[in-house]
Structure formats: C-alpha cells, structure tokens
Structure 1
Amino acid sequence: MGEWVNKKFRNPVVEGVRQRLCAARWNAGLVHGNVKEPEEFRLIEKQGIKLVSFSSILGELRAAGTSKRQGAAGNSLAELLAFLPKQDGV
C-alpha cells in the first residue's frame, strides 16, 4: 500500500509542481465512494492520507442549500445530490 500511496501522492515531479504553485505544506486527501475493503482505507490513512467520502461531501452541499447551483461543467449539483439517500430534515 505504501508504494501505491507514494506513486499517487508523493511523486517527486508532482511535489515539485505543487511547490512551484504554492510553496507551502500540502496535505493529501482521497475522496472515495462506497468502501469495499475497509482494511485498505485504514492502510491508506496510516500513510497520512485524509479520507473523505463522496457522500459526506454531497451531504454537506445538501445541508448548505447549494443544490440549485451549477457545477463547473454545467451539470446540476442536484443530480449528484440525488445519489444520496433522503435524510430526515434535509
């Protein structure tokens, strides 16, 4: 798992680009869908990668009342929010 994390998040070329864009301390995160193998996510997290579920992002957007805004590609965020199960009061 460490090799995959290094390839995806710690590539020296990509790190160089990040530093040229903004010379700062960068954090790595992985947005994921439904978890099939929870152990893989625990191993990724142990490597210092922050895990964020796609459903939690959509839930935050729904809670913020942004469902009528348009995405950058012109697709409605409402279409994405439709993937979430309905929650009481939201």
Structure 2
Amino acid sequence: MSRAPSSPRVMARFAVRIALLATFAAFGSIGFGNSLAALLWMSIILCAVVGLIKREPVFGATLNHWDEGVAFGALFALVHTLNQLI
C-alpha cells in the first residue's frame, strides 16, 4: 500500500483547513481579511515544510502538501489583493 495520500483525501483536508482558518480569522483582532491573509501565509509555510519533511514529489501524480501550498498561495494572493482594494 502506498504511503501517498489519495487526491480526494487531500482535497477534504484542504477544505477542513480552510474552514478552520476562516473560523479563526473571524475572531482575529486585526480584522477578518488581515487575519485570514496571515493564517494563509502560515499555511503556505507549513505545507512547504511538511512537503520537505515527507519528501513528497513536487509534481507528483496525486495531490500532496505541495499542491495544497500552491492553493493556499493562490488564496493568499486573492485575499491580499482584496485587502488592498478595500
């Protein structure tokens, strides 16, 4: 049995993390947008560190922590841009 997580499991993990980040950002003292941006930035770093520790392939056949980090990065860019506009 492979140690690599399946893509649906990674997507479910991503959805749960987004829900948790949004919940914590709602209670942030610096505002929702800024709190969410900071939490997304920390998630990018966490995914990169875990991907390095687990030695996951960057361009693997299934989704992994690297892909999750890229998704968090895209969300961070969106939230950061929206924070600048508002």
- Shared fold by TM > 0.5? no
- Structure with the higher helix share, 1 or 2: 2
- Higher Cα Rg: structure 1 or 2? 1
- Structure with the higher strand share, 1 or 2: 1
State TM-score, norm by structure 2.
Answer: 0.30
State TM-score, norm by structure 1.
Answer: 0.29
